[in-house]
Structure formats: C-alpha cells, structure tokens
Chain A
C-alpha cells in the first residue's frame, strides 16, 4: 500500500520537527531559569520547562508520565516554589563572582572539558539502535494467563505487583518528608522566649 507508506514517512518527519521545536523550547527555558536575574521569572521559565517536558514525554509515547508531569511538577512543586518566593523577600542578584580569576577559569575549563567528552561519548550511540518506534508495545502477563498490552495497564501492574514494597516505602518517605518540612519550617518557640 504505497499511500499508507508515504503517510507514515510524513508522520515521522512531523514527529522529528515537533521534537526539535520542543528541544528548542526546553533549552531556552532551561537557560532562562539559570540566567534570569529575577527569581520569579526563573520560576515562570521553570513552568514552561516542565510543560515542554510533558509535551516531549507525550511525543515519545509516555502519555501517563506526561499527565503526571503536569500534575506533580506544575501543579504541586511549582506552587510550592512560588509560595516560598512570595514568603521570602527577594532582591535581584548580581552576578559578581566571589571567586578569583584562576578559580573561575579552572571551573569553566573543567566543566566544558567534561561537557565535550560526554558529548563525544554520546555521539557514539549509533542511530538505528533503540529507535523510538511508535508502534512498539509493551506486554505483561497476568497470573490468570491473560496478556495485557495497554501501556497504562502494564505500568500499573508492574508498579503494584513487582514494585509494591518500593511503592509503600515511597509513601512512607513522603510522609516523613512532610512532617520534617513542617518541623523545620515552623517557628521555634523556645528559642524566642
């Protein structure tokens, strides 16, 4: 079927174009987070970064994680960040470094050397290996012998069957973190008196 085939190729190049658009947005907002002087605007760039990352997840076929990314990061973590920015009086930061010239040069040289090395290593990955095949499907088998192929079902079965202990431990960790955060952030009455 030649018509199907051309449609397929156009679909793939459309996916690639979308990928480069999202990559551009992601890199731009990451740079904005790091290099903007005003922390409020950094936080807004971080929102755009998270939303772009959710779009990227949806593009490469992890729809559940895209949803969770928006819910957890944009819905919960960013609200927390903006709330703390509101509580804390902020002034704009100047970029004058307390380091000496030699220290700064050493840090920049080391970082860029590591960056180049890692980039060269990454470019050794051959294209064509581990391609993101949109038709690729994950499967798992239930105890009853039934095959499950829906990605959401496979992930939830894995989570609640194979990683149940890790899941429970994560919930315990979150509880401890919430209690700890309240204890750390609350006013110390005895120190005041």
Chain B
C-alpha cells in the first residue's frame, strides 16, 4: 500500500490555515459587526477542522471532544455577541463599528 496516496494531515492543515487567514482578514477589514462575528465563526471552524484532522491522524478522540466543547462555546459566544449587537442597534440605530463612539473623548 503506497503511503503517499493517502490524504495527509498536511493538506488539511494548509486548508485550515488558509480559512483562518480569510477569517482574520474579515475581522480586520469589515466594519459591519454581524459580518465580524461571522468571520470569528470562520476562524473557530477552521481550528475545529485542524483538531479533527489531527485527531483522525493520530487515532485519538481527544481532538474530537475538544471540537465538541469549541462548538458549545461558539454557540454561547454568538448568542452573547448578537445580543450585544441588538443592544448597540437599539442605542445607535446602526451596527457599524463606527457607531460605537460613546467612550471617545472628542
């Protein structure tokens, strides 16, 4: 059996890293808070993919358990984040990051 023919962890690691970078670019460049939360979800999911890949690669289920916990925490995080967005929209009528300037001096 040719070992090289198998799907290696390396390809999945590169894919997960590219997805993570796209998420970082989204967090840095976008100004809509909902899209920023979505980019955070992208980053969390790319790390999940890496966990699953290594868990399968080394035949150890701890990685998959970690993914379960990450999923639960991501659900809690997006619930709190969206509640904060609703509160911000109620006060400023906008969900752009430029709208949150109440603590600014000028």
Contact = CB atoms under 8 A, between A and B. Distances in A.
Interface of A: 5, 8-9, 12-13, 15-16, 19, 23, 26-27, 30-31, 33-34, 39, 42-43, 46, 49-50, 53, 56-57, 60-62, 64-65, 68-69, 72-73, 76-77, 80-81, 84-85, 87-90, 93, 95, 97-98, 107, 111, 115, 118-119, 122-123, 125-133, 136-138, 151, 154-155, 158-159, 163, 166, 170, 173-174, 176-178, 180-182, 184-185, 187
Given A84-B86, A111-B24, A182-B83, A33 B78 contact: no
DSSP class of B's interface residues: helix, strand, loop or mixed? helix
B19 A26 contact: yes
Given A39-B35, A128-B8, 8 more contacts: A19-B11, A19-B12, A46-B38, A46-B42, A77-B74, A130-B58, A138-B60, A173-B73
Interface in B56-83: 56-62, 64-65, 67-69, 71-80, 82-83
Contacts of B82: 80-81, 84, 181, 185
Interface in B5-41: 5-15, 17-19, 21-26, 28-32, 34-35, 37-39, 41
Contacts of A89: 93
A173 B76 contact: yes
B90 interface: yes
Interface string B81-106: 01111110110010110100000000
19 contacts: A5-B1, A16-B5, A27-B22, A31-B22, A77-B75, A80-B79, A84-B85, A88-B85, A88-B89, A93-B31, A125-B13, A128-B3, A128-B4, A130-B54, A131-B3, A132-B12, A132-B56, A137-B59, A138-B59
B32 A30 contact: no
Contacts of B31: 93
Interface of B: 1-15, 17-19, 21-26, 28-32, 34-35, 37-39, 41-42, 45, 48-49, 52-62, 64-65, 67-69, 71-80, 82-87, 89-90, 93, 95-96, 98
A30 B19 contact: yes
A118 B61 CA distance: 26
Given A13-B5, A184-B84, A43 B18 contact: no
Q: Most chain-B Cβ atoms within 10 A of its Cβ — which of A5, A62, A73, A133?
A: A62
